[in-house]
A and B are shown apart, each in its own frame.
Chain A
Amino acid sequence: MSAGAAKALTSSGLQNHFELFGLAPAYLLEVQALEKAYRDIQSRVHPDRFANAGDAERRASLQWTTRVNEAYRTLKDPVQRGKHVLELHGVDVAFETNTQMPTDFLLQQLELREELESALDAKDAARLDRLRAGLRGQQQALEREIGEAIDAKKDYAGAGELVRKLMFLERLDTEIDAAYEGLE
C-alpha cells in the first residue's frame, strides 16, 4: 500500500448466524428452510420497505439487511458454513496458517491442476466440463462427510481437516472458472 499499511489478521466478532434464522447449528441444513427464513426476514427489514421512512429507520434497516445478507451468504457457502459451525464449537480452522494436508490428497490436487493446465493449453472446453463434473462429485461427497463428522460424530478436529480439503477444491473450482474465461 502506497503509504505503508500491511494487512493484519481479521478478527470479526462471533455471531451465531443460525440463531438469526431460527435454525439449529448443524452443518447439513435444510436449504429450503434457510431460504424461507431469509426471505421472511428480508421482507420485513429490507430498505425497500422503508423508502419513505425517517433516517433512523432507514439506517436500522440498512444495518439489519446487511447483517442478514452476510449471515445468509455464510450459511449458503459449504466452506464458510463449515468454518462458522466449527467456530461456534470453539475450533479455529485457521485456514491461513494450517496448511498441513495428507500427502495423497495433495498429490491428487496436483494431478487435477496438471489436467486443468493441459486442458487449457489444448483449449479443450469439453475436458474442462469433465474436470468440473468430477470436482462437483468430490465436493458433494466431502460435504456429506463433513456433515457426518460435525452433526453425528461431533468430531470437530476431524471436520476441520475436511473443511480445509473442501476449500482446496473450491480454489480449483475458481481456477476452472478462470480457465473458461481464458478460452473465450
Chain B
Amino acid sequence: MALLQISEPGMSAPPHEHRLAVGIDLGTTNSLVATVRSGTPTVLPDALGRALLPSIVRFAKDGSVEVGYAGQAKQAIDPKNTVVSVKRFMGRGLKDVAHIENAPYDFVDAPGMVQIRTAAGVKSPVEVSAEILKVLRQRAELALQGSLSGAVITVPAYFDDAQRQATKDAGRLAGLNVLRLLSEPTAAAIAYGLENASEGLYAVYDLGGGTFDISILKLSRGVFEVIATSGDSMLGGDDFDQRVFCWVVEKAKLPPLGARDMRLLQVRAREAKEYLTFHGEAPITAKLSSGELVDVAIDSETFCGITQTLVQKTLGPVRKALRDAGLTVDDVKGVVMVGGATRMPQVQRAVGELFRRDPLNNLDPDKVVALGAAMQANVLAGNKPQGEDWLLLDVIPLSLGIETMGGLAEKVIPRNTTIPAAKAQEFTTFKDGQAGMSFHVVQGERELVSDCRSLARFELKGIPPMAAGAARVRVTFQVDADGLLSVNAQEKSTGVEASIAVKPSYGLVDSDIERMLRDSFEHAKADVHARALAEYRVEGQRLIEATRSALDADRGLLSADELKAIEEAVAELEKRLAGSDHRAIKQASDALNRATGEFAARRMDQGIRRALAGRQIGSL
C-alpha cells in the first residue's frame, strides 16, 4: 500500500521569491563559490572566467589587500606578507601547526589562535579567511545581481570545534549569513548522490591541499546519513609538495634558504607534482636570489617513493572509519574521490587496491565540494519544494569530554555521534564547603587530557556550603547542527542555580567579531549603524514571514489569548521595522521570538505525531 502523504504547508517554506544562496568551498589551496541557477548547480567564475580563487591573501603596507591570483603573483617577491594555506592555521596554536618552520611568516603566538604580523598589522587566520570570503561574496553578488540571503561554507569533516568556530567567525566577519557549516565529504556526496541517484553505502575519500577526510555515508531515499568519519586535519597535497621541496634541496645540495627562495622552490615543487600526474618526469628549474641556478628533474618513480608514506598515512583513517561503522570494504558500493590531490595516480591506485574497485572520479574533484554546498544552500534557503529536497544527518568527528581527577579525559559525547546531540553528566564537590568547581572541556580520542585538544576552561562559582559529595552539578554538552559545542553547568541540589555558557577558547567572542567588523567598516568608510539596521530589518522581516506562515498552518494550536499576544508582537515589530532605530527592531524581534516559543514547541510535537501517524497508516 502506498504511503499516505501528509502535506503540511506550515512546516515548509512559504511561497516566496527565490532566495539567493551560495555554497562556498573555503579550501587550503583554492576556494570557490557556487550557486543553483534554474535547478542546476554552477560554479561562479570571476570576470576573467576563472572558477578557482587561489586561497592567497597579500597585505600591503598601504592597507590594500590582494586576494587570489593578484596575491599569488606577489607571493615569491613578498612572501612575508602573502599568506597562503591559511586554513592550516584556523583555530590552531603555534605548536599545533606542522612544518611551521618552513612557513615564511612572522608568527605571533596569541592566546588561542596563532596570528601573523604583516605590513598591514597583525592578522588572525580568521581575518585572512574573511578576506577570501569577501571576494567570493562580491563575486556572487555581482553574478546574481542581488545581496545573498545565506551561504553554506564547507569544512573538513575532521575539523575540530575550534577550527569550525573559526570558520564560522570568518563567514560572519565577511558579512555572510552562514546557514550551515557542511563537511566537505558530505557536500561531495550530495553532488554525486543526486546526479547518479545512488543508494547504498559510499566512502568519500577527500584529500585536499591541507586536510584529509574519509567519510562513510549511507544514502537512501533522500537521506544522507554519515555513519562514520575519520581523517587527519594536518595532511594534504601541500605535504606532497613539501616532500618534493625537501628532495630538491637535498638533490641540489642547497644551503639554508631565505623566505623568498623557499617560497619559489615550494611553488616549483607543486608545479612538478601536478606535471607528474600526466608525465613520467618533471623538470624543476629556479634561479635563486644568490644567482645560483637549480636545474633538476624528478621522475614519477622517485616521486611515488618519497611520498609513499603519505599515501599510506591516509589508509589508516580509512580502515578506522570502516571499523567504526562496523563495515568491511566489501560493504562499500562506491568510493568517491574529492580534492585536487586525488588526481595523483599513486593515490588513485592505493585507494583502488584497498577497496578492490575503481574509485569514482567523473566529477571535477576541485569543484564537487562547492557544487554540493550550493545544492545544500539551495535547500536550506527553502528554494526547493518539499519532497524534492533531502535530509542530511551528520556526525561529530572527535569525542568531546571533560577533565576528571588525575588528568584523565572523560568522554561525554563520543565521536561519530549524530548531531545535534546533547549529553549531561553530573559532578559533585570533593571538599566540605567547596564553593567553586572548575571545568576543562577537551576534544579527542586519547585517555590523557594532555593528549587531547583543550577547547575551554570555565569555573562555576557560588555553590552554597555543603558537605563533600552533596552538591549536584549537572554539566550539559550541546552540539548544534554545525557541529559547534556549548557547555552549561548548573548546581541543582539546593535549588540555587548558577549557570554559565561557554564558547571554546579558540573561537572569537562576539565582542571580538564586532570590533573586527567595526575596524573593517571604518577602513571601508561604511556606516556601522546602516549595516546593523539593514541586518536587523532583514532578520525582522524574515521572522514576520515565518510567524505568519506558522499561524496560517497551525492557528488552532493556540488559545485566543496566546494568539492575541503573538499578533500584538508581530504588529509591534512591523511598527518598529518602519522606523530606523536598529535597537528597537532588535528588541521587538526578540520579543516576538519569546512570544512564539511555546507555539513553536507545540508545532514540533504535532509534526512528530503526524510523522508517526503517517508511518502507522502506511504500514497497515
Interface residues of A (CB under 8 A from B): 1-12, 20-22, 33, 36-37, 39-49, 51-57, 59-66, 68-70, 72-73, 177, 180-181, 184
Beyond the given A22-B616, A44-B8, please list 10 additional residue pairs across the A-B interface where CB-CB is below 8 A: A1-B402, A3-B434, A8-B426, A10-B425, A43-B222, A48-B379, A54-B543, A54-B547, A56-B600, A57-B600
Query: What's the minimum C-beta distance from A32 to chain B, rounded to whole angstroms?
Result: 10
A4 and B431 form a contact (CB under 8 A): yes
Give Cα A62–Cα B482 distance, bound, in whole angstroms.
11
Taking CB atoms, residues of chain A closer than 8 Å to B439 are 1, 5
**B601 contacts A by Cβ under 8 Å:** yes
Interface 9-mer from B114-122, B253-261, B403-411: B403-411
CB < 8 Å: which of A1, A66, A72, A181 contacts B427? Answer: A1
Give Cα A7–Cα B401 distance, bound, in whole angstroms.
13
* Most chain A C-beta atoms within 10 Å of own C-beta, residue among B417, B436, B440, B543: B543
A-B CB contact pairs (8 Å), 28 listed: A1-B438, A3-B434, A3-B438, A3-B459, A4-B429, A6-B405, A10-B426, A21-B612, A22-B612, A37-B611, A46-B481, A49-B12, A51-B179, A53-B546, A53-B600, A54-B546, A54-B547, A56-B600, A57-B603, A60-B597, A66-B420, A69-B420, A70-B421, A70-B422, A73-B418, A180-B319, A180-B323, A181-B316
B425 and A7 form a contact (CB under 8 A): yes
**B277 contacts A by Cβ under 8 Å:** no
With A4-B429, A47-B480, A48-B391 as known contacts, state yes or no: A12 contacts B424, CB within 8 Å: yes
Query: What's the minimum C-beta distance from A52 to chain B, rounded to whole angstroms?
Result: 5
Taking CB atoms, residues of chain A closer than 8 Å to B459 are 3
* Interface 0/1 of B349-369, CB less than 8 Å to A: 000000000000000000000
Looking at chain B's contact residues, the main secondary structure is mixed
Taking CB atoms, residues of chain B closer than 8 Å to A21 are 612
Give Cα A13–Cα B218 distance, bound, in whole angstroms.
32
**B337 contacts A by Cβ under 8 Å:** no
Give Cα A61–Cα B481 distance, bound, in whole angstroms.
10
A51 and B436 form a contact (CB under 8 A): no
Give Cα A12–Cα B422 distance, bound, in whole angstroms.
12
Query: What's the minimum C-beta distance from B46 to chain A, rounded to whole angstroms?
Result: 28
CB < 8 Å: which of B319, B593, B596, B601 contacts A184? Answer: B319
With A37-B611, A72-B418 as known contacts, state yes or no: A5 contacts B427, CB within 8 Å: yes
In the complex, residue of chain A having the shortest beta-carbon distance to the beta carbon of B602: A60
Give Cα A139–Cα B205 distance, bound, in whole angstroms.
31
**B180 contacts A by Cβ under 8 Å:** yes
Give Cα A45–Cα B436 distance, bound, in whole angstroms.
38
B13 and A52 form a contact (CB under 8 A): yes
* Interface 0/1 of B559-597, CB less than 8 Å to A: 000000000000000000000000000000010111011
**B9 contacts A by Cβ under 8 Å:** no
Give Cα A78–Cα B583 distance, bound, in whole angstroms.
53
Which 5 A-B residue pairs are closest in the complex by CB-CB distance?
A: A3-B438, A44-B607, A51-B380, A40-B611, A22-B612
* Interface 0/1 of B371-409, CB less than 8 Å to A: 000000001111000000001110000000011110000
**B419 contacts A by Cβ under 8 Å:** yes
In the complex, residue of chain B having the shortest beta-carbon distance to the beta carbon of A40: B611
**B430 contacts A by Cβ under 8 Å:** yes
B11 and A44 form a contact (CB under 8 A): yes
